Structures are given as structure tokens and as C-alpha cells.
Amino acid sequence: MAYRRKGDPGGNGQGSGGDDNPNQIVYRKMERIVEKMQDEQHGVPVKTVKSFMSKIPSVFTGSDLILWMMKHLDVEDQTEALHLGHLMSAHGYFFPIDDHVLTIKADGTFYRFQTPYFWPSNCWEPENTDYAVYLCKRTMQNKTRLELADYEAENLARLQKMFSRKWEFIFMQAEAQAKVDKKRDKLERKVLDSQERAFWDVHRPVPGCVNTTEMDIKKACRMNKPTKTTKHFQSAVSGGRISPSVSEMEITSTQDIKVELKLSPSCNQTDVRRVSYINPNSEKGQLITDIILALNKRLERQNVKISKVSDLYINFFEQYQEYDAFLVAPEPSNPWISDSVDYWDLEKQTKDIPARRVRRWAISLNELLKDPAGREQFFKFLEKEFSAENLKFWDAVQELKQGHSKDIPNKVQEIWNLYLAPDAKEAINIDSKSFEVTKRNMEHPDRWTFEEAAAHLYQLMKSDKYSRYLRSEMYKEYLNGMKKKTSVKGIRSVISFSGKKEPTPSSS
């Protein structure tokens, strides 16, 4: 866990940049409260909970925490105590042991205090390589509590592509850390694993949660000191100042040099301007050079007009309006309003499906494959086209990503033997580039070994087979058949079709 702190290039020891952070005052206030909470006599009661066949060490309940706050802090009611607890949890001072969302509930949910080593006042600045090592280590440990969440698996896939050249080094680091963790006591390992997970939940939060480590640029500018956010905002500081740490006096007192700035990608000429500049070999000179390069890159970046974006949003919402149960009243009733779940059950069934669902298949291939009935119909079409193995392979790759770590090597080999080996029973047709990449990945099999080949086949199905399916008689007949069934059901709801005849009076 050798993560990097600000002002500490080696990643060891206390960083020297603690006072540079404008949030230090807030951190100190919260840490004084946490220290009182951890007092052995008057703090929050921390205990080890025994359950069947296991122990949960060093935990406290949310209700105990809220009661302690209302008793020892100047809070008016439980709502204010919950709000304060949520803010402190979002900064990582305590966390739920079974959830990635850092919040507090006034119930029996178990929480645990974060070790001071991981407190935000230590000015942690973990890099993506550290995060990749952590996620990779999690995949090596066959424990249910350490399985990756969906967003973590997606992050790991992106990081593996980003660091493909040094992934072997990252894997070795993760392997070494996993071996060290195995030597620890079982209860100690549980506590450390949860604290490390909470640390990353603060610095790489769940999508939709607030990132409390982001620094307010206004606070940073008021302090008139360089901060770790300077790089992100240095080209956007107004008032003629290039950086909050470079004064105008320092700039104007230096020599003038000519800098050529390309105004736009379409320009054939460059505008030569005289700018006030400091020694290019100095640290601040390098900073201004970086700013110029960043501005040139921004000029070359392609932008989309707001009107175009708004049109895309409008088209999207109009397209999906029919499938929003709040905008169009469904049959049966909306399950979010009524107590009936018949609507959801109807959406899952693969027989007598409404025409509305069939029309949704034409929106995109993803919508078609999400619907069980749509997947079944598309598979039948691919069988007629003698290319059903493409969908089988794609399904197998998606299942591989969700598999258990210990089963990954065997599943990878099975997929290779079935679809890509020279004597494969259901050989798929992919381009040479994807095949070579997949062949290299087989040397170190993991859950993303076939990512390149699966993406290639998905694109082929999307551009060729999917469009042909929508134009085929098979889809049109199925859609028309569903429309007829829907109309007949509507008629039957109005007119009673009875097979019985009215009794006629007998002739006398």
C-alpha cells in the first residue's frame, strides 16, 4: 500500500504539503471529533460481533454513532447529526463495512473507523497505477467480500488498456502485496482490507457519489500557493495572470521572446506575438511552456455546438418516451405507483410479448440483446445466416467477465478451443489483427483476453447482421404478428366472444 502523497515523490513518510491544502482546517476539526469518538471510556462503543462461524472485528452501529453525536456535540436533532455523520463518512473517517457508498444510517448497520494513516489530512495523491495494483490484487483473492463491483471491473478494464505496456509490472506488484496480506492474522486482514477499500472509495468514488478530494479552485487561488489542482486550471485563470503562483511583476520584469501560436487547425499562418516571459529553463518558464502547449491542444480539439447536443438529447427522449411508464400509462399499471409487479413480469416473458417491445429492438443492437425474446429471435436469424457462433462467442466473453477468478484460466482455454483454435468446432471469423492480439493475450489469460475479438465481432454484427435482421421478413412478420395479437386482445376486452347460443323457445 505504498500510495503517493503530495510532496512525497517516493510515496513514503509524511508529505510536506499538508498546509498547502485549503481544506486542512476542516480536516483538523473533523479529526478532533473522531479522536473523541475513539476515546476508550467516553467514545463510541466499538466491539467485535460474533456470528455463526465468523467474527466481525472492531465495528460500531450507526445508531450508536448518532446517539453519541447528539449527546456530546452541539447538534439540534437527529437530522443534523445524520448530516454531519454523512459528511465525515464521505471524507473517509469512518465507513460501512459492506457498502462502497460512504454514508451513515441511524440503524444497526456496522461501521468501522479509518486508520489515521489514510486520513485525508495526510494529503494523499494516489495515481492510477496504485489503483490498478489494488484492483488487480482484489481479483487474486478468492473471497466473496473482495469481489469487484461492476464499476470497479470497468475501471480495471480501462486501466489494463491504459497501462498495457507495463501491466506485467503492475501484476507482479499486486502479487507481492497479496502474498504479504496472506501472512497476516485473519481478523487483522479483514480490518485492513476494509480500510484500504474505504480509502479507494474516497479517492475513486462510486459513480454518482461526490468526490470530496477535489479541491475548490477559488480556495486555492486565495491561498496564492501552487496546489495539485493548478495543472487542471492553470490555463483558465482570468485577469491576465497565467498562474496563481506567478505574479505580473515577475513576468513583466523578464526578457521578451517570440512565441508562435497556431490560432486554429484550419489556419495556414501563425500569429507571432511578443509575450512577457521568464527564463525558459527555470521551473516557472517550464510552467508557462506547458500552458502554451495546453492552449494549442485546446484549439485543435473538436467541439460540438450546444444546439447539436440539444437536438441529440431531444431525439433520444422522444425515442424512449413510449417506454417511460411515467409519461405513457402502461398496461398493466405502473409498478412504481401501484403495488402490482405484473408490468415487470410481462416485460420478462418471451411469449405473447407486446408490439411495443418488438419496436424497441429496432433502436439499437444493445436494446435487442437486452430483451430475452429479442435475443432469441436474433439467434434464430443468425442460425439461418450460418453465423450463430458469433453471438455464442460474444455471450461466452460476457459470461467470462463475470466469472470467479479461480475459474478464469479454464474458461479462457475452453473458449479458445471452441472458437479460435485451428481445429475449433464453432470457428469464428475475425481479422488478423484481433486474432494476433488475442493470441498474445493467451500467454497471460484473464477475464479480458478476448476483449479485442469480442469488440470486433460485436461491431460486425451491429453493422451487418443487425441491419439485415431489421430488413428481413422474419422481423417484419414477427412485428406484424404481435400487432395482430395486441389488436385482438383489445377487441376481446370490449366484445364478449361466447360459444354458447341463447336458448330458443320451443314450439308448442
Q: Give the mean pLDDT of 288-308.
A: 83
Is residue 362 over pLDDT 50?
yes
- Lowest average pLDDT, out of 103-107, 180-184, 402-406, 479-483, goes to 479-483
Mean pLDDT of the chain: 79
Is residue 350 over pLDDT 60?
yes
Write down the pLDDT at residue 340.
Answer: 82
Is residue 297 over pLDDT 90?
no
Write down the pLDDT at residue 222.
Answer: 64
- For 34-78, how does the pLDDT look when each residue is reduced to its tens digit (9 = 90+)? 999 999 889 999 999 887 778 889 999 999 999 999 999 988 889
Is residue 23 over pLDDT 90?
no
Q: What is the dihedral of CA 469, 470, 472, 473, to 10 degrees?
A: 130
Q: Give the mean pLDDT of 99-126.
A: 89
Which comes out higher in pLDDT, residue 16 or 175?
A: 175
Write down the pLDDT at residue 86.
Answer: 92
pLDDT bin (cut points 50, 70, 90) of residue 416 is very high
Q: Give the mean pLDDT of 462-466.
A: 91
pLDDT bin (cut points 50, 70, 90) of residue 383 is very high
Is residue 114 over pLDDT 90?
yes
Q: Give the mean pLDDT of 140-155.
A: 82
Write down the pLDDT at residue 45.
Answer: 92
pLDDT bin (cut points 50, 70, 90) of residue 6 is low
Task: State the CB neighbour count (10 A cutoff) for residue 288.
Answer: 21
Write down the pLDDT at residue 197.
Answer: 92
- Lowest average pLDDT, out of 79-88, 209-218, 230-239, 324-333, goes to 230-239
Say how far apart CA 435 and CA 433 lie, in whole Å: 5
Q: What is the dihedral of CA 175, 178, 182, 184, to 10 degrees?
A: 130
CB 357 within 8 A of CB 371: yes
Q: Alpha carbon 393 to chain centroid distance?
A: 25
Write down the pLDDT at residue 295.
Answer: 87
Write down the pLDDT at residue 186.
Answer: 86
Write down the pLDDT at residue 484.
Answer: 61
Which comes out higher in pLDDT, residue 219 or 24?
A: 24
Write down the pLDDT at residue 277.
Answer: 47
Which comes out higher in pLDDT, residue 266 or 443?
A: 443
Write down the pLDDT at residue 472.
Answer: 92
Please choose, from the candidates 44, 29, 122, 23, the residue with its C-alpha nearest in 3D space to the C-alpha of residue 84: 29
pTM for the full model?
A: 0.43
Which comes out higher in pLDDT, residue 351 or 286?
A: 286
CB 76 within 8 A of CB 105: no
Exposure of 402 in the CB half-sphere (CA atoms within 13 A): 5
Which comes out higher in pLDDT, residue 305 or 392?
A: 392
- For 198-226, how does the pLDDT look when each residue is reduced to its tens digit (9 = 90+)? 999 999 998 888 888 877 666 666 665 55
Write down the pLDDT at residue 100.
Answer: 87
Is residue 494 over pLDDT 50?
no
Q: Which residues contact 488 (CB under 8 A, 6 or more apart)?
A: none
